[in-house]
Chains A and B, each alone.
Chain A
Amino acid sequence: MISQFFVLSQRGDNIVFRDYRGEVQKGSAEIFFRKVKFWKGDEGEEAPPVFNVDGVNYIHVKVAGLLFVATTRVNISPSLILELLQRIARVIKDYLGVLNEDSLRKNFVLVYELLDEVIDFGYPQTTSTEVLKSYVFNEPIVVDAGRLPPLGPAAMFMQGTKRMPGTAVTKSVVANEPGGRKREEIFVDIIEKISVTFSSSGYILTSEIDGTIQMKSYLTGNPEIRLALNEDLTIGRGGGSIYDYASSAGGGAVILDDCNFHESVHLDSFDLDRTLTLVPPDGEFSVMNYRTTQEFKPPFRVNAFIEEAGAFKAEVTLKVRADFASSVTANTILISMPFPAYTTRVSFELEPGAVGNTTDFKESNKRLEWGLKKIVGGSEHTLRAKLTFSQEFHVNITREAGPVSMTFTIPMYNASRLQVRYLQIAKKSKTYNPYRWVRYVSQANSYVARL
């Protein structure tokens, strides 16, 4: 049973505050914010999503820079509350198109309307966007999504490719388009988060892909949809260790360790032909989440060498190679590497003709940051950094620096090779032919090369 629900801005202002049961004091938002902000003071540790202060449990999620918080006095299921908070954020986003502080402030009365229906006396009621439609009367005031920080994994599509209607994912499910008519369209995004750890010799220590098939439907009348995946898709690795690379190497089949599905998905024919049948609810949701440790080719190879160059100097060479087709381009790449604490000065040397590169040495945490706007498949990039130390370094300098970590986004690329073979929409009439967007994107989750 939730006692209170509130949303705080980054500065700690209440944007909405709803007290459902009157059993937690009114100042709870302030107590919460202080606790989150000064969690364990100097160690700078991040506050966990759930904590207890004087018998009140504070449970929160961070979405789009906002804090969604619930308080309760009972020993409730934390997952239930966290899922609910996340869902509330998503429902609000469905309504407002864009979720951020500005849109929330402009539409707070609508949000109160939603909250009234989503939770009653602390008990979750309905969170379905389309059911809520009949109880919510405020028209959303749509804010310009233009330069605002986007939300959620799908937002990355706004950055790169020109083929996507950039603002489509930020459309409200209820607001009418400026032009009047609603456009019939559906988005299916295959989003993969890649984790790889390379050993110092370049050997892959661990690798994992966590994927999700996300859907956002703007189809009127909720027609049934069939989503066909790879026919040779296998789920679960029978026997053996999960990390048994030998068994899966070379074969073309996609093997998932495990997956789960949205409630609306019918799996009747999934075992037979790997198709998912569903009547998509309004708004954004994950059709399927999956996880695989099957061997795959990492999109980037990263190498780092450190050479001593005298008692107070060292030279670091960073090499990154894009191991994917030249038709694909990765963007917003950031490579970072901690240097020894006694590093005082760093000078950088890029390859001749390098464009869209930024290099920086962050003095505060002694960290190198190398940003690249884009990397075309097949290309290789190198950065040399000359380090000056304030003291003689110790036995093993590689123990004092690294590891190298990398973040990136690669549109139209998926490492697992999971495909949507086709997307079929039950036809209402012969002329009914809604837009279908199937998009792939891969992102780094934890991409680390050790020294």
Chain B
Amino acid sequence: MAPPVQPHRSASPSQPSGKGEVSDLKLQLRQLAGSRAPGTDDSKRELFKKVISYMTIGIDVSSLFSEMVMCSATSDVVLKKMCYLYVGNYAKGNPDLALLTINFLQKDCRDEDPMIRGLALRSLCSLRVANLVEYLVGPLGSGLKDSNSYVRMVAAIGVVKLHHISAATCIDADFPSLLKSLMLNDPDAQVVANCLFALQEIWNLEAGSSEEASREREALLSKPIVYYLLNRIKEFSEWAQCLVLDLVSKYLPSDSNEIFDMMNLLEDRLQHANSAVVLATIKVFLHLTLSMTDVHQQVYERIKAPLLTLVSTGSPELSYAVLSHLHLLVMRAPMLFSSDFKHFYCQYGQPSYVKKLKLEMLTAVANENNTYEIVTELCEYAANVDVPIARESIRAVGKIALQQYDVNAIVDRLLQFLEMEKDYVTAETLVLVKDLLRKYPQWSHDCIAVVGNISSKNVQEPKAKAALIWMLGEYSQDMSDAPYILESIVDNWEDEVSAEVRLHLLTAVLKCFFRRPPETQKALGAALAAGLADSHQDVHDRALFYYRLLQYDVAVAERVVDPPKQAVSVFADTQSSEIKDRIFDEFNSLSVLYQKPSYMFTDKEHRGPFEFSEELGNLSLGAESEEIPAQRYDANDNDLLLSTSEKEENRVLSTNGSAYSAPDYDGSLSLAPAQSVSETTTSTQILPTYAPQGASSGIDDLLGLGLPASASSAPPPLKLNAKPALDPPTFQRKWGQLPLSLSQECSISPRGVAALTTPQALLRHMQGHSIQCIASGGQSPNFKFFFFAQKADQSASFFLVECIINTSSAKAQMKVKADDGASSEAFLSLFRSALSEFGMSQ
């Protein structure tokens, strides 16, 4: 029996036809509910199918809830499943009715058949109704201990579901520790895998608010657990293998033997037909060998063939995902792939997103040996019917020309493009020739001869037209009719829609004028007049500027507008290396396909476990500057709460409380812990009241009095604002402007080094001392952090710190820049003491 095929999707639940049929179904379901006649189950099946098919196409069938539940008393498994599906979909919106289902679900959780138990438990946990959680704990607890692995499998995931509905219930019932022991002991690999997923997700969610959770999360990366999982790797399903390997890629082995053992163990995973397994393995290999340059390079050589095989044998979608990763590797180490260039040739019928990647790869791997072949191939694409790709190909030829020393042949090719007389080819080529001339002015003769033949009427695209005009101005002495061409363009000023072109035109005419005054005078006059009358602000202002400059002194004007130029040596890269490194760190994720790090496209709460330093890259980017401070506030709030509660614990246990006492580092270290708690609390809640306290020191600073003297005897009281705000662009600007106040190197305790396995811990720790991290990055053994802090006084001056930590030498290098250089000494000692305490409490 087919589900009714709906000609149009009915998104609106009030759709009349749907409504009538729903009430019809309601009646029929009622009739069947009590019936015990033979064949009832078959009729129910048909009705249930209808309900589910309505649900699928978006008709609201929630009004059938009670009827569906009434009909659910059945031993027919297919019926049960459909009913569970229905209930799972609508329970959240009908919490009261959902209570009706608890009874039969709980009963089914005790069924003899393990499959029924599993199904019922899964559905019970999927209800997503907060006031029903009390009914979950019992069945989940027994599910985790069930003799059947299917039920345990379901229960392990059920724990995460419970955590999503009520985290407290989940933690109070001590389910995480049950999961942990199950993970380490269960004979069934899927149960183990599910426990791992569950623990990862739970600890990741809890880590923001609980030290213990973040410790537990880090413990998942400990040697025993990683080794245990690796030793069972082949028992896992290919999907679970991927997630286990992802965990392993974050593990930091202690020595190279460990690295080689792990790589040998995983070597055969590279031959797997599943690209997800291969990529996950490659990520492990790449991350393990980051600090071993030779081996890292060998890894590249080793993974080339498997990656190419996956690219050619997979479905187009899979091939694209793998190719994107290959693209990333090629961009990182083009010379390692320079002999494989033929693999990056575009194939007939490939989608353009694949071709674009390939063109970039071809551009990257071009070197003196293969350039001829690559450029020949690219020239074929330039004549292609696929216009966007033809354009990209021409740009690729240009890029290769810009990165090569021997551009002779390429220039010829480019000039041949101009002879093809296809508008878009000419347009792209002109832009390229312009860039080429900026880098290699020595080619001007050859290029100009050809460019001079192009009629400006055939060039319509603004970019191309601007390029042509630029060349006319720049090389007006070599092109006999340059003044006249420019003049004719000026004559059509009114028709020129692009302001960019008009700006270029003004400059070009002026440059031409300096070189060939008599011939250009007329055009210049016309251009300036048109420019002054132009409605575009920039065009108008530039025309006025030129006009006044010329009035003042023509010689000066020439020096300003047309000075001798230096050839451009390198055109700026569009993406900073920090961003690229970040994407590489996120190998085997969507970041690679989007070519952006994850913080640019994921919300904070959906970032994966073990991801840290979300802010990195903003230093150079600032794209999300509005969002970042908000995130930082969250983190601060969490942290301050945490530090106070921790301190209370510390007081009770009377252990070393100093780890968290930094905010009141005012010279009186003898403060009673109880007092310090209240201090911090006030500092978090009512910031403004701090100002009077800090006022005196602020005035001191202002007057510049007595500071050197007091610095020698006792450090001046330096209080830091617990919640300073500084957005990344400002940080970057300040960092660039301020002089270096202090630079120092110090050692880090071994425990501190150990704790650095998760750099996030350091950020959290420093936050406890009112020192905020704005960016961090790096790989073991080298980590780099940028911190900032703000004085809690009226001056509100900032301290900026660059801190480079090398974990193998256990040394930290700090560079401090400060708005108020006089107090940087005091700040640095505070910073050092905070740093030295790192790891002590772990």
A residues lining the B interface (CB < 8 Å): 1, 12-17, 19, 21-23, 26-27, 30, 43, 45-46, 48-50, 52, 55, 57, 60-62, 73-80, 82-84, 86, 105-106, 108-109, 112-113, 116, 120-121, 123-128, 134-135, 137-138, 195, 197, 205-206, 208, 210-212, 236, 241-243, 257-263, 286, 288-291, 338, 365, 394-396, 399-400, 403, 405, 445-448, 450
Interface residues of B in 129-171 (CB under 8 A from A): 153-154, 157, 160-161, 164
Task: Find out whether the CB atom of A30 lies under 8 angstroms from the CB atom of B11.
Answer: yes
- Which residues of the other chain, B, contact A108 by a CB distance below 8 angstroms? 3, 52-53, 56
> Given that A74-B607, A77-B588 are contacting pairs, would A241 and B271 also be in contact in the complex, using a CB cutoff of 8 Å?
no
Determine whether B491 belongs to the interface, using a CB cutoff of 8 Å to chain A.
no
Determine whether B593 belongs to the interface, using a CB cutoff of 8 Å to chain A.
yes
Determine whether B345 belongs to the interface, using a CB cutoff of 8 Å to chain A.
yes
Contact of A291 among B115, B197, B240, B308 (CB under 8 A): B308
Determine whether B274 belongs to the interface, using a CB cutoff of 8 Å to chain A.
yes
Q: In the complex the two chains form, what is the Cα distance from A365 to B310 in whole Å?
A: 33
Task: Find out whether the CB atom of B81 lies under 8 angstroms from the CB atom of A112.
Answer: yes
Contact of B385 among A43, A57, A236, A365 (CB under 8 A): A365
Task: Find out whether the CB atom of A137 lies under 8 angstroms from the CB atom of B78.
Answer: yes
- Which residues of the other chain, A, contact B602 by a CB distance below 8 angstroms? 55, 73-75
Determine whether B686 belongs to the interface, using a CB cutoff of 8 Å to chain A.
no
Task: Find out whether the CB atom of B380 lies under 8 angstroms from the CB atom of A450.
Answer: yes
Interface residues of B in 261-278 (CB under 8 A from A): 271-276, 278
Q: How large is the interface on B (under 10, 10 to 19, 20 to 34, 35 or more residues)?
A: 35 or more
Q: In the complex the two chains form, what is the Cα distance from A80 to B318 in whole Å?
A: 9
Contact of A286 among B160, B273, B383 (CB under 8 A): B273
Interface residues of B in 187-240 (CB under 8 A from A): 190, 194, 197, 201, 237-240
Interface-central residue, A1, A120, A241, by most chain B CB under 10 Å: A120
- Which residues of the other chain, A, contact B349 by a CB distance below 8 angstroms? 405, 446
Task: Find out whether the CB atom of A48 lies under 8 angstroms from the CB atom of B161.
Answer: no
Determine whether B709 belongs to the interface, using a CB cutoff of 8 Å to chain A.
no
Contact of A57 among B6, B77, B190, B590 (CB under 8 A): B590
Contact of A61 among B9, B315, B611 (CB under 8 A): B315
21 A/B residue pairs, CB under 8 Å, sorted by A = A14-B9, A14-B57, A15-B56, A49-B321, A73-B606, A75-B602, A79-B275, A79-B318, A83-B318, A106-B2, A108-B52, A109-B78, A112-B81, A116-B122, A121-B126, A128-B237, A257-B308, A261-B271, A399-B383, A446-B348, A447-B348
- Which residues of the other chain, B, contact A263 by a CB distance below 8 angstroms? 238, 272-274
Task: Find out whether the CB atom of A105 lies under 8 angstroms from the CB atom of B351.
Answer: no
- Which residues of the other chain, B, contact A26 by a CB distance below 8 angstroms? 58
User: What distance in Å separates the Cβ of A439 from its nearest Cβ neighbour in chain B?
Assistant: 18
Residue of A nearest to B310 (CB): A260
Task: Find out whether the CB atom of A74 lies under 8 angstroms from the CB atom of B308.
Answer: no
Task: Find out whether the CB atom of B309 lies under 8 angstroms from the CB atom of A257.
Answer: yes
Going nearest first, the 6 A-B pairs with the smallest beta carbon separation are A446-B347, A124-B239, A49-B317, A258-B305, A80-B276, A289-B313
Q: In the complex the two chains form, what is the Cα distance from A84 to B115 in whole Å?
A: 24
Determine whether B715 belongs to the interface, using a CB cutoff of 8 Å to chain A.
no
> Given that A48-B353, A120-B122 are contacting pairs, would A79 and B342 also be in contact in the complex, using a CB cutoff of 8 Å?
no
Task: Find out whether the CB atom of B608 lies under 8 angstroms from the CB atom of A75.
Answer: yes
Task: Find out whether the CB atom of A197 lies under 8 angstroms from the CB atom of B345.
Answer: yes
- Which residues of the other chain, A, contact B586 by a CB distance below 8 angstroms? 75
- Which residues of the other chain, B, contact A73 by a CB distance below 8 angstroms? 602-603, 606
Task: Find out whether the CB atom of A76 lies under 8 angstroms from the CB atom of B9.
Answer: no
Task: Find out whether the CB atom of A405 lies under 8 angstroms from the CB atom of B348.
Answer: yes
Contact of A258 among B9, B306, B607 (CB under 8 A): B306
- Which residues of the other chain, B, contact A55 by a CB distance below 8 angstroms? 601-603, 606
Determine whether B463 belongs to the interface, using a CB cutoff of 8 Å to chain A.
no
- Which residues of the other chain, A, contact B611 by a CB distance below 8 angstroms? 75
Task: Known A-B contacts: A48-B353, A123-B194, A124-B237. Give 4 more (CB < 8 A).
Answer: A79-B276, A210-B313, A260-B273, A450-B380
User: What distance in Å separates the Cβ of A5 from its nearest Cβ neighbour in chain B?
Assistant: 12
Task: Find out whether the CB atom of B603 lies under 8 angstroms from the CB atom of A45.
Answer: no
User: What distance in Å separates the Cβ of A405 from its nearest Cβ neighbour in chain B?
Assistant: 5
User: What distance in Å separates the Cβ of A142 from its nearest Cβ neighbour in chain B?
Assistant: 13
Determine whether B471 belongs to the interface, using a CB cutoff of 8 Å to chain A.
no
Determine whether B809 belongs to the interface, using a CB cutoff of 8 Å to chain A.
no
User: What distance in Å separates the Cβ of B545 from its nearest Cβ neighbour in chain A?
Assistant: 39
Q: In the complex the two chains form, what is the Cα distance from A310 to B742 in whole Å?
A: 82
Q: In the complex the two chains form, what is the Cα distance from A425 to B23 in whole Å?
A: 57
Task: Find out whether the CB atom of A208 lies under 8 angstroms from the CB atom of B271.
Answer: no
Task: Find out whether the CB atom of B347 lies under 8 angstroms from the CB atom of A445.
Answer: yes
- Which residues of the other chain, A, contact B122 by a CB distance below 8 angstroms? 116, 120
Q: In the complex the two chains form, what is the Cα distance from A16 to B82 in whole Å?
A: 13
- Which residues of the other chain, A, contact B3 by a CB distance below 8 angstroms? 105, 108
Q: In the complex the two chains form, what is the Cα distance from A291 to B343 in whole Å?
A: 12
Residue of B nearest to A399 (CB): B383
Q: In the complex the two chains form, what is the Cα distance from A244 to B827 in whole Å?
A: 65
Interface residues of B in 303-347 (CB under 8 A from A): 305-306, 308-310, 312-313, 315-318, 320-322, 324, 339-340, 342, 345, 347
Q: In the complex the two chains form, what is the Cα distance from A396 to B317 in whole Å?
A: 38
Task: Find out whether the CB atom of A212 lies under 8 angstroms from the CB atom of B594.
Answer: no
Residue of B nearest to A259 (CB): B309
Task: Find out whether the CB atom of A75 lies under 8 angstroms from the CB atom of B56.
Answer: no
User: What distance in Å separates the Cβ of B487 from its nearest Cβ neighbour in chain A?
Assistant: 29
Interface residues of B in 407-425 (CB under 8 A from A): 419-421
Contact of A12 among B9, B322, B421 (CB under 8 A): B9
Task: Find out whether the CB atom of B342 lies under 8 angstroms from the CB atom of A137.
Answer: no
- Which residues of the other chain, B, contact A22 by a CB distance below 8 angstroms? 92, 128
Residue of B nearest to A240 (CB): B339
Q: In the complex the two chains form, what is the Cα distance from A83 to B238 in whole Å?
A: 10
Contact of B242 among A80, A212, A260, A288 (CB under 8 A): A80
Q: In the complex the two chains form, what is the Cα distance from A138 to B340 in whole Å?
A: 50
- Which residues of the other chain, B, contact A405 by a CB distance below 8 angstroms? 348-349
Task: Find out whether the CB atom of A16 lies under 8 angstroms from the CB atom of B56.
Answer: yes
Contact of B607 among A75, A125, A134 (CB under 8 A): A75
Determine whether B567 belongs to the interface, using a CB cutoff of 8 Å to chain A.
no
> Given that A46-B353, A79-B588, A109-B82 are contacting pairs, would A260 and B317 also be in contact in the complex, using a CB cutoff of 8 Å?
no
Task: Find out whether the CB atom of A126 lies under 8 angstroms from the CB atom of B237.
Answer: yes
User: What distance in Å separates the Cβ of B367 from its nearest Cβ neighbour in chain A?
Assistant: 14
- Which residues of the other chain, A, contact B280 by a CB distance below 8 angstroms? 77, 80
- Which residues of the other chain, B, contact A78 by a CB distance below 8 angstroms? 321, 324, 589-590, 592-593
Residue of B nearest to A22 (CB): B128
Q: In the complex the two chains form, what is the Cα distance from A21 to B201 in whole Å?
A: 13
User: What distance in Å separates the Cβ of B425 from its nearest Cβ neighbour in chain A?
Assistant: 10
Interface-central residue, A83, A197, A242, A286, by most chain B CB under 10 Å: A83
- Which residues of the other chain, A, contact B238 by a CB distance below 8 angstroms? 83, 263
- Which residues of the other chain, B, contact A212 by a CB distance below 8 angstroms? 313
> Given that A48-B353, A127-B239, A289-B309 are contacting pairs, would A19 and B89 also be in contact in the complex, using a CB cutoff of 8 Å?
yes
Determine whether B5 belongs to the interface, using a CB cutoff of 8 Å to chain A.
yes
Task: Find out whether the CB atom of B353 lies under 8 angstroms from the CB atom of A45.
Answer: yes
- Which residues of the other chain, B, contact A21 by a CB distance below 8 angstroms? 164
> Given that A52-B601, A286-B273 are contacting pairs, would A260 and B306 also be in contact in the complex, using a CB cutoff of 8 Å?
yes
Task: Find out whether the CB atom of A137 lies under 8 angstroms from the CB atom of B239.
Answer: no
Task: Find out whether the CB atom of B606 lies under 8 angstroms from the CB atom of A74.
Answer: yes
Task: Find out whether the CB atom of A76 lies under 8 angstroms from the CB atom of B6.
Answer: no
Task: Find out whether the CB atom of A84 lies under 8 angstroms from the CB atom of B9.
Answer: no
User: What distance in Å separates the Cβ of A334 from its nearest Cβ neighbour in chain B?
Assistant: 12
Task: Find out whether the CB atom of B9 lies under 8 angstroms from the CB atom of A121.
Answer: no
Contact of B279 among A16, A49, A79 (CB under 8 A): A79
Interface-central residue, B122, B318, B321, by most chain A CB under 10 Å: B321
Residue of B nearest to A293 (CB): B342
User: What distance in Å separates the Cβ of A282 from its nearest Cβ neighbour in chain B?
Assistant: 15
User: What distance in Å separates the Cβ of B166 from its nearest Cβ neighbour in chain A?
Assistant: 15
Determine whether B393 belongs to the interface, using a CB cutoff of 8 Å to chain A.
no
Determine whether B661 belongs to the interface, using a CB cutoff of 8 Å to chain A.
no
Residue of A nearest to B45 (CB): A109
Determine whether B352 belongs to the interface, using a CB cutoff of 8 Å to chain A.
yes
Q: In the complex the two chains form, what is the Cα distance from A338 to B47 in whole Å?
A: 55
Determine whether B34 belongs to the interface, using a CB cutoff of 8 Å to chain A.
no
Residue of B nearest to A63 (CB): B315
